[in-house]
Amino acid sequence: MTQIVVDTGPLVAFLNKRDRHHAWVREVLGTVEPPLVTCESVLSEACFLVRDLPGGPDTVLELVSRGIVQVSFSLADELDDVRRLMKKYQNVPMAIADACLVRMTELERDSAVLTVDGDFRVYRRNRRQVVPTIMPS
């Protein structure tokens, strides 16, 4: 079974009915088994971006509380590799959340990033491999 690594955009789109990717994310999420995995940086970004929605940040944290989203990454343990990725893609530029997600796919070979961020078409894992993604066409 492929591990789904979730990025900020799909979390925000799932919670915001006005987001242009809302219907697409709901459709995709209907086909995958929880838990989705992510990093704390993604949760921080998502909480910030939904701060004006009713229940906003608490709804993001509720996804974690209910086990739908699971934090399964330790930045402290992976700091050197995250820094390597951010330096390699500094011209994009690569956010810390994106670097953590790419690193997560390096650690779990059978994984794909659920994202709406086209930068994941540029990023490579293990230096040369395309990062598997699930994204709108």
For 110-137, write each residue's pLDDT tens digit.
Answer: 999 999 999 999 999 999 999 999 999 8
Specify the pLDDT at position 137: 85
54-110 pLDDT tens trace: 999 999 999 999 999 999 899 999 999 999 999 999 999 999 999 999 999 999 999
* Helix (H), strand (E), coil (C) string for 38-75: ECHHHHHHHHHHCCCCCCHHHHHHHHHHCCCEEECCCH
Per-domain residue ranges of the chain: 3-134
CATH architecture of 3-134: 3-Layer(aba) Sandwich (3.40)
102 burial type by CB count under 10 A (0-12 exposed, 13-18 middle, 19+ buried):
buried
Res 1 pLDDT > 80 = no
